[in-house]
A and B are shown apart, each in its own frame.
Chain A
Amino acid sequence: MIELKNKSLISITDYSKEEILHVLDIAEDFEKNHRQRLLDNHVIASLFFEPSTRTRLSFESAVQYLGGSIIGFANADTSSVRKGESLKDTILTVSNYSDLIIMRNPLDGSARFASEVSPVPIINAGDGANQHPTQCLLDLYSIRKTQGSLENIHIALVGDLKYGRTVHSLVQALSLFNATFHLVSPESLKLPSAVKRWIKDAGLEYHQYTELTDVIPFSDIIYMTRIQGERFPDPVEYEKVKNSYILENKMLSASKENLRILHPLPRVNEISEDVDNNPKAYYFQQAKNGVYVRQALIAAILGLKD
C-alpha cells in the first residue's frame, strides 16, 4: 500500500520508484476525467516568491479542476515578504489558512527548509537553481504515455546539460528505470560529473556527443533544452554553438517511429517551428500533462485519492 498522505515533495528523490509510479497512475485517471471535485472545502496556498506564470497557471488550473480554492501571491512584491518577513514566518502564517502549500522561491534549498517548519505539506514548484520535481513528474508521465513504459528507453538529452536542473532531475529519476542516456551538448555545457556518477552508480550507460544528428536514428525520446547565452563566459564561444543544437523537421526523417520530442518550454529557437506539425512533436501535450500530474500529486498528498 503506497501512502503519500502528508508527504511533501521537495526533490524527485524524495519519492521511491513505486511512489512515482503511483502518482503517474493517478494522473492517468485525471487525464480520462480531469473534472473531479475532490477538493471541496479545501484551501490550497500558492506562494510564488518569484514570478513563473507557466508553472503557477498549471498548478492553479489543477486546483480549480479539483474544485479547491486558492490563496497566495504571484510575486514577492505584493506580499509581506517585501516588508522583510522571514520565510519561516510566512510559511507558519499561511499554514494556518491552508491545507497544502505550493511554493516557488528563488533561494536554493528554501523548499526543504519550508517543509521542515511547515505543519502542512509543501510541494516545491521550483527552488532557485535546485529542484523542480513536478516538471520531472510530468516528463516521466509523458515518456511513459508515449512509450508505453518507463523501462529501458534510450533518451537523448540535448543542449545545456550543465545548468539545466530539469535535466539533472530527469537523469536521477530515469536511473530508476534502466534508461540509456545519450548526452548531446557543447563541450562547455556537458553534464556535471556528479550527475554522471548517478548513472554509473545505477549500473547504467551514458554516451556523449557534440552533434545532434548523431542521436536521432536510435532515440526513443529527444529531450531538448534551451542554451542560454548568459551561461557562456565567452560570447564568441556562444556564437559558435548557439545554432548547432536546433532541431529541424527534415532531420527527423531517419528517426524511429516511436520517437517523441519533449521540451520543458518555453522554447526560443532550439526546435524549429516546422517540427510542431510532426506527430513526433509532443511538447505541448507534455505541458498539458502537467495539469493531470499536479492534480494527482495534490489529491494524493491530501489523502483524497489512492
Chain B
Amino acid sequence: MNNKRTELQVSAIKNGTVIDHIASENTFRVFQILNLEHIKEQVYLGTNLESKKLGKKGIIKISGKFFDPEEINKIALVAPHATLIEIKDYEVTKKEKINLPESIDKIVKCMNPKCVTNNQDVPTKFKLITDHHGKTKLSCHYCEKTMAQEDIWFL
C-alpha cells in the first residue's frame, strides 16, 4: 500500500527525475544551480510540503532529465538530505539518498580571491571536512582555506 502511494506521488512524470526531501528553504537554490530555468521539458516544483522527516520539504520533478555525477554532487552540496528518484515509463527504477562525496572537483569556486584557482587556469578541487560543530565545510586543495556550505558559489 505504502509503496503504491509513494509511486503515485512521484509518477506524475513518465520519464525523468524527482528530487525529493529538499529542505524547503533550499528548493529554489537547487532549481537555480541545476539551471532548470533553461530546460524545455516539463518541470514541477513544490515547496512547503508536509514532511514527517523535515517538517516542510521541497520537491522538484523534471521530465526527460537524468543527472550525471557532477550534477548530483551539486545537489548534494545544496540539499544534503535529498532523495533522488529516477522514473522510467512511470516506474521508479532507482531511488537513493544523495551522499556527499569526499571531494568536489571543478564545480565550486574558491572564495579566496588570492587563490591560484582564481588567478590561473587551474580547475578547483575541494575536500569535504566536518568542523567541530558537525558542519560540513569545503577545504580548498590549493590554498587550504575552508568555506562553509552556505558560502558556496558554483562555477
Question: A residues touching B (Cβ–Cβ < 8 Å)?
Answer: 11, 86-88, 106-110, 112-113, 127-131, 193-194, 197, 200
Contact = CB atoms under 8 A, between A and B. Distances in A.
B145 A88 contact: no
B142 A113 contact: yes
A23 to B, nearest CB: 21
A11 B122 CA distance: 19
A106 B120 CA distance: 12
Contacts of A194: 131, 146
A128 B142 contact: no
B132 A86 contact: no
B120 A108 contact: no
8 contacts: A11-B144, A88-B121, A108-B115, A109-B115, A109-B116, A109-B122, A109-B143, A194-B131
Contact of B144 (A86, A87, A131, A200): A131
A40 B144 CA distance: 37
A285 B114 CA distance: 33
A194 B137 CA distance: 11
Interface in B100-125: 112, 114-117, 119-122
B132 A128 contact: no
Given A108-B114, A129-B114, A194-B146, A88 B141 contact: no
B142 A88 contact: no
Interface of B: 112, 114-117, 119-122, 131-132, 140-146
Given A108-B142, A130-B143, 13 more contacts: A86-B121, A108-B112, A108-B114, A108-B116, A108-B143, A109-B116, A109-B122, A112-B116, A113-B122, A113-B142, A193-B132, A194-B146, A197-B131
A112 B114 contact: no
B115 A107 contact: yes
Contacts of B142: 108-110, 112-113
Contacts of B131: 194, 197
B106 to A, nearest CB: 14
A106 B114 contact: yes
Contacts of B119: 107
A228 B119 CA distance: 26
Contacts of B112: 108
Contacts of A131: 144
Given A107-B114, A131-B144, A113 B132 contact: no
**In this complex, which of B121, B140, B144 has the most chain A Cβ atoms within 10 angstroms of its Cβ?**
B144
A275 to B, nearest CB: 34
B146 A113 contact: no
B121 A197 contact: no
Nearest to A194: B146
Nearest to B132: A197
A193 B148 CA distance: 14
A131 B116 CA distance: 13
Contacts of B117: 109
A79 to B, nearest CB: 15
A128 B144 contact: no
A206 B114 CA distance: 31
Contacts of B145: 108
A127 B144 CA distance: 11
Nearest to A107: B116
A194 B145 CA distance: 10
Contacts of B114: 106-108, 128-129
